[in-house]
Structure formats: structure tokens, C-alpha cells
Amino acid sequence: MTFSGRKPDRLEDEATVYRALLRKQWIDATAGSVEPDAFYLRKNKNEIGLSVNLATVYTPEQCAARFQTCYGVASLVVGQVRQLGLDVVADSPSHANILGLPYREDNRELADRLAELLAQQAILSWQPKLI
């Protein structure tokens, strides 16, 4: 996979990525945690991976600002994601995909489990201030 005409640098295990939380229901407001709902692939969109932004390029606020509606931003550590048998691969200098997740339509057991484990790893890093 290349971008800008060169092979991308491999993301270090210590790297942090941000997942924009596009639905209110992806956040457990009581616990201050992220729900597994945020970590399912959409087969009808032919998604190959879960979209994330690199923390070396964006702040959580900047990540959120890229979306019309964003209820929060979750951070994940690349090395921890890899420990689940997944990978995080950059496709541009600022963006990456979490790869290796199955569609729920194809493997509901593994899709549910990985969504749950990613949610447990995720840290709710940013939420919009209440007015």
C-alpha cells in the first residue's frame, strides 16, 4: 500500500490513533467509556477497515472537526490493537485503517468479540463541551 508515491512508514506499536465516535450511542456516558458499536465493519459499504486518524497529525479536537457530527473521539494504541491479531495500516500521512476485522454478516462471533475488545482498549479522549 503506498501514498504520495512512496511506501508508508510502518506505524510503531507505541503510536496512537483516533477513532471518531459518530453516534451518541457509541458512548457509555455513565461509565465514560466507548461502546463496541463503534467497532463494526460495514459490509454494505465494502469497508476494508475501521477508519482512524493518526495522533501525530491531529489532536482529538481536530479529528472531531473533520466530521459534521462527532460525539467524541476514542484513542487506541497500535501495539495493543495488534495484540488482538489485527493491524493498523496507514494509507495516507494522516489516516490509517484497522485491518483484520470480519464483517458481522460473515463471522458474527468474532466480529462481536473484537468489537468488544477494541471498546475495552479504547479511551474516550475527547467529547464536545456541553453548552
Residues in the site for another protein, rule: CB under 8 A? 22-23, 25-26, 28, 31, 35-37, 40, 42, 44-45, 67-69, 108-109, 112-113, 116
CB 91 within 8 A of CB 47: no
Q: At its nearest, how many Å lie between another protein and the CB of residue 108?
A: 5
> How many angstroms separate the CA atoms of 18 and 70, rounded?
12
Q: At its nearest, how many Å lie between another protein and the CB of residue 92?
A: 20
Q: What is the SS3 assignment for 64-102?
A: HHCCCCCCEEEEEEHHHHHCCCCEEEECCCCEEEEECCC
Which is nearer to another protein, 12 or 37 (by Cβ)? Answer: 37
Which is nearer to another protein, 11 or 20 (by Cβ)? Answer: 20
